[in-house]
Amino acid sequence: MTDSSQNNKAPNRLTWWENLLFGCSLKDTPRLIPGLVATVMLVALAVWLTNTVNRALGFSGLISYILMVMVMGIVIRNVASVPA
């Protein structure tokens, strides 16, 4: 016979700093790395694209980085599907 307390393990509780910094436990943070790398690459692309468009139009600061990231997000969301 098995002890019922062994079968019903309580889920790991997050400490306040794990919840604040990561939103998951420290052992689960490696799964966040691909999304972090993708985010950094998209931001770098947005900065480069914004500077290129502003230079092509002859204005400095006409299009902001935030606007470019929002447009890129809209385009990516409409082109790529989101997994279930």
Residue 11 is predicted with a pLDDT of: 60
Which one has a higher pLDDT value, 76 or 6? 76
Q: What is the CA radius of gyration of the chain?
A: 21
Which one has a higher pLDDT value, 69 or 8? 69
Burial 33-69 (b: 16+ CB within 10 A, else e): eeeeeeeeeeeeebeebbeeebeeeeeeeeeeeeebb
- For the cut 90, the answer to whether the pLDDT of residue 44 exceeds it is yes
pTM over 0.75: no
Tell me the per-residue pLDDT of 7-17, one tens digit each, with 9 for 90 and over.
Answer: 555 466 778 77
- For the cut 90, the answer to whether the pLDDT of residue 2 exceeds it is no
What does DSSP assign to residue 26?
G
